[in-house]
Amino acid sequence: MSIEDDIAFFERVPTLGLIGRTALRIIAIGSESKYVHSGEVLFTAGDEADCGYVIQEGSFDLKPATEGGGPDTIAGPGTLLGELAMMTETVRPTSAVAREPSTVIRISRSLFLKMLEGYPDAARRLRDAMAVRADQWAREMENVRDHLVRGVDS
């Protein structure tokens, strides 16, 4: 794929699409494509994470770190795995295992942070979108808490 194809692909990824075409050019130039065989582990729950991966082709089973830690899910093309790892030190909350021959694009934390330094407008758009998501999560948690409290009081 050409750089322009990669940029067009990244524009369709929800988080990456926020940062704009010019900033995505830096990501497209500095990122790495990786082929993953069917059944191969891309990363393991609990591993330190230093990058995000965008699934370009294929799909992955995402398995939580522990039994009962949530349902297994399937992630396919256009999914960004490890969004938080591109911005801060963290560990993988799930394991990712290729369901079929797959291709991912690896975006290192150092590349992503350098891009944000060079494109402050992109950083602001990303920050604003994350603030909205954090607010939504907080409201959802309040709703769950209220539901649990009502259930205990009944």
Percent of the chain clearing pLDDT 70 (strictly above): 94
pTM of the model: 0.84
128 versus 97: which is more confidently predicted?
A: 97
What pLDDT score does 67 carry? 64
Q: Cα separation of 64 and 72, whole Å?
A: 7
Q: What is the mean pLDDT of residues 36-62?
A: 97
- Give dist(CA 78, CA 69) in Å, integer: 24
Confidence of residue 68 (pLDDT cuts 50, 70, 90): low
Residues linked to residue 90 through DSSP beta bridges, in sequence order: 49
> Which 3 state secondary structure label does DSSP give 143?
helix
Q: In the predicted model, what is the mean pLDDT of residues 121-127?
A: 90
Q: What's the CA gap between 37 and 58, in Å, rounded?
A: 10
Mean of the per-residue pLDDT values of the chain? 90
Local confidence band at 91 (pLDDT 50, 70, 90 cut-offs): very high
pLDDT tier for residue 146 given thresholds of 50, 70 and 90: confident
User: How many CB atoms sit inside 10 A of residue 74's CB?
Assistant: 10
Average pLDDT over residues 27-45: 97
Structure tokens that stand for 39 in this block? 């059944």
Cβ-Cβ contacts under 8 Å for 59 (sequence gap 6 or more)? 74, 75, 76, 77, 98, 99, 100, 102
pLDDT band at 2 (very low <50, low <70, confident <90, very high): confident
57: Cβ contacts below 8 Å, ≥ 6 apart:
77, 101, 102, 103
Whether the CB-CB separation of 57 and 77 falls below 8 Å is answered with yes
Domains of the chain, earliest start first: 3-153 (2.60.120.10)
| pLDDT at site 154 | 54
Query: Which pLDDT does position 1 carry in this prediction?
Result: 72
Residue type, 48: E
Task: Quickly tell me which residue has 């694009």 as its tokens.
Answer: 105
